[in-house]
Amino acid sequence: MSQAARALGGLEGRRLLRHPLFLTGTGFVLIGTAYFVRSSLVEATVAWDDDAWTIGAGFTFLGLLAMIATNLAALRDRRAGAVEQHETLPVARASRTGGLLLGVGWPVAACALLFAPIWLFAASKTELSALDLLHAVDTLALIGTLGVLGVAIARWLPNPFLAPVAAWGLILTSPAEANSRWHALSPFASAESVDLAAWHLVYLFGLAICLAGAALLRDRAPRALVAVIAGFGVAGVAAGVMLVTACPGPGRCQI
């Protein structure tokens, strides 16, 4: 990334942290955390899987709202009718896209800082496993991937209506009680084994790289196609492993 992209990344990141949608998502996380804290105070024993689902739901809504926020940020010039003016700036469009992608890291870092005290409190109330830790990291990767998706949608389909539609589609296709093998490919899949959770984390990282490359490819950025191919390859391998191992036998799948 160029120096201009890094500078824009800091600017866009700070804007995203102040965006009303991101603040609303943070509110959902705090409400979910309050429910968990209440349960831990009034119940003799609590379990992360059974009682902390409200926290996971809060971060899920935060990720979806962050995706819409990044999409709106990427469409700022179009919504303001300033596309032609911005094209005359000395900063290339690819650098502006790179700045938006780097800015996604700020909400992810903020979520990590928000999650840390929640995790420490939960560790003081119940036993946390390696699978729980993977789920926590997976949640942060999910927020980053959804943020990058918002930028990619804006670059290829520049309409602010489409990001909310994509968010709604992701909700409708998310795993529920009775899951099929393909539900392992959902960004919201929650694996029930360490191996499957690790592969889902790799899958999200691959998707993020592929989507970032796709956003830059629209601006004909150097090496963008390499990022698309590499990210697609990583996500494809992880997806293949998950599809094979998600449902090892008859009955409920491990997602």
CA angle (119 as vertex; 115, 124 as ends), nearest 5 = 155
Return the amino acid letter for 224. Answer: A
| Of 1-5, 187-191, 244-248, highest mean pLDDT | 187-191
pLDDT band at 78 (very low <50, low <70, confident <90, very high): confident
The mean per-residue pLDDT over the stretch 50-57 comes to 88
10-14, 106-110, 220-224: the lowest-pLDDT one: 220-224
Q: What is the model's pLDDT at position 139?
A: 94
Q: What is the model's pLDDT at position 248?
A: 78
Q: What is the model's pLDDT at position 86?
A: 53
Q: What is the model's pLDDT at position 91?
A: 65
pLDDT digits 0-9 by tens, 186-237: 999 988 899 999 999 999 999 999 999 999 999 888 889 999 999 999 999 9
C-alpha 244/C-alpha 182 separation (Å) is: 10
- Residue 127: count other Cβ atoms within 10 Å of its Cβ: 9
Q: What is the model's pLDDT at position 102?
A: 96
C-alpha 49/C-alpha 211 separation (Å) is: 31
